[in-house]
Amino acid sequence: MATIRISQLTAVSQATDDDVLIINDADTNTRKITFGNLTQGLLNTSSTAQTKSGALTVQGLFNVSGNLAVKNNVLFVDSLNDRVGIKTNTPNADLDINGILHIQGANPIRFGDSDNSNFVGLRAPSVVTSNFTFTLPAAPPASTQLVTSDAAGVFSFTTGIGTGNSSLSLGLVELINQGVVRFYESSSNGTNNISFAAPNNLSNTFSYTLPTAFPPSTGFILSSSSTGELSWISSSSGASGANNLIQFATNGLLNSNSNLSFNPSTNLLSSTNGNFSGDLTVQGNTQLGTGSTQTINPLGVFNNHLLPEPNTHDLGSAFRFWRHTYTQSLSVSTALNPHNSNTVNIGSSSSRWQTAFVNNLQLQGVNQRGIDSFSIAGSGTSSVNLGANSAYKVLIKAIDTVTDDIELIEQLVVSDGNGAISEVTGSNVQAPTPGNFLISASSQLVGADVIMTITNNSSNSLTVKLYSVEM
């Protein structure tokens, strides 16, 4: 405190609240010591600047009506604008920090809502293995976008599901439980979309690899290898040929043939002179051909029974008949009946025909007729080529066209292979007078074939039917 003489004190004529001590100076003057005299060098109540050395402890309210600066603006209070600055004496916000803000102990920074009843907090992980810093984007996004970070922690905005010109770069995208990827149309047109999803059940995991470039021109189609490698192949500017023609690949190009077509309105698959190889399994009704002018030529072996509907279908017809029937076991409801008497059998249980030349074979007791049927005029002859076999068993049936007399002759023809023929002629099985044969037969070799000549011994015309079996 400075030294002040009493004579230097302010004279007092009337005491005030600021007068602390009044002194009578030799009964001549009355002097006073004011609050300012007592606090000189401690607190300055005037506008004069003052420096205080040493610590200052204030117990109670410390009220500063002006700005407050602490050590070169480490802390600066702008009382005019109600702002606080750290390392700045020109704060531009309620709290303006020109330096690093460090929140210790994994404590959060809290952002309260409008009435401060709830908040959103940000905090560091409980354990951080090394220091790192995230850098915010330099500008707001142009539209709805996602925030991504590079390896240096620099944030940027990229387009995700929203709209924009950027792209979302990810190493792997996984959609679990049949998750769906949807591609929407323009929002100005509506909300329709195209979706892709995995099947409900997969036997194994696989992936497709997209092509390396656009197709070279319009009309290419997307093809896949067995390992899922997708590539563009030419479709030869679309389907080949006329409507309904079946398409097939030729060196990677679609091709067609006018002989192979499919009519979707009738479900009819058509082939002209087609050749199908490999196994063919048809389930359901099957129709081969549409008329008698078309030919079915099975060269393979029937591996199952040929079963018609019971008693409703003929084998052959009066105009189209089977030539050879190689039969090991033939069961019919009654004997094959060449005459109304129903008394004559062809073959027996111990001696059966191996080959039956059938003109019209009708089972279930209907009359049977041989495949070689011809007429011989009175006292005429007719020849039949039995083929190039070494032995034949022949049944000859002659019917007199006038008297209806019937004659059956059983004849065995054997070739010795050297041009000689031996014949064993059986008896007349049925005739008006036994021994009065209407016909006779003889055979000879012509080349490798056995030619049988049948002679009509009657003056009337005969109808002859010949049943022949190769031995």
Domain boundaries of the chain, sorted by first residue: 6-39, 62-141, 317-471
Reduce the DSSP state of residue 35 to 3 states and report it: helix
| Bridge partners, residue 182, by sequence | 195
- Place 93 in a pLDDT band, splitting at 50, 70 and 90: very high
Say which residue, 310 or 246, is predicted with more confidence: 246
Say which residue, 431 or 293, is predicted with more confidence: 293
CATH of 317-471, one of 1.10.3720.10, 2.60.40.1680, 3.40.50.2000, 3.40.640.10: 2.60.40.1680
How far apart are alpha carbons 389 and 375 in whole angstroms? 25
Q: Which residues are CB-neighbours of 194 under 8 A, at least 6 positions away?
A: 182, 183
Query: What element of type H or E holds 39?
Result: helix 35-39
Residue pointed to by tokens 């190889």? 277
How far apart are alpha carbons 323 and 211 in whole angstroms? 63
Provide mean pLDDT across the span 441-457.
Answer: 85
Name the amino acid, one letter, at 267.
N
Give the pLDDT of residue 77.
92
- For residue 158, give both structure tokens: 């990229």
Give the pLDDT of residue 127.
93
pLDDT surpassing 90 at residue 91: yes
Average pLDDT of every residue of the chain: 77
Reduce the DSSP state of residue 383 to 3 states and report it: strand
pLDDT surpassing 60 at residue 297: yes
Cα–Cα distances (Å) from 467 to 181, 335, 356, 410, 448, in that order, read 78, 15, 6, 9, 20
- For residue 430, give both structure tokens: 């049925």
Estimate to the nearest angstrom the gap between the alpha carbon of 159 and the chain centroid.
30
Say which residue, 323 or 109, is predicted with more confidence: 109
How far apart are alpha carbons 8 and 89 in whole angstroms? 42
| Residue 336 DSSP symbol | -
Q: Identify the CA nearest to 159 among candidates 169, 149, 151.
A: 169
| Residue 154 DSSP symbol | B
| Residue 7 DSSP symbol | G
Q: Identify the CA nearest to 134 among candidates 115, 114, 155, 118.
A: 155
Query: Cα-flanking dihedrals φ and ψ of residue 424, to 5°?
Result: -120, 115
Query: Cα-flanking dihedrals φ and ψ of residue 35, to 5°?
Result: -65, -35
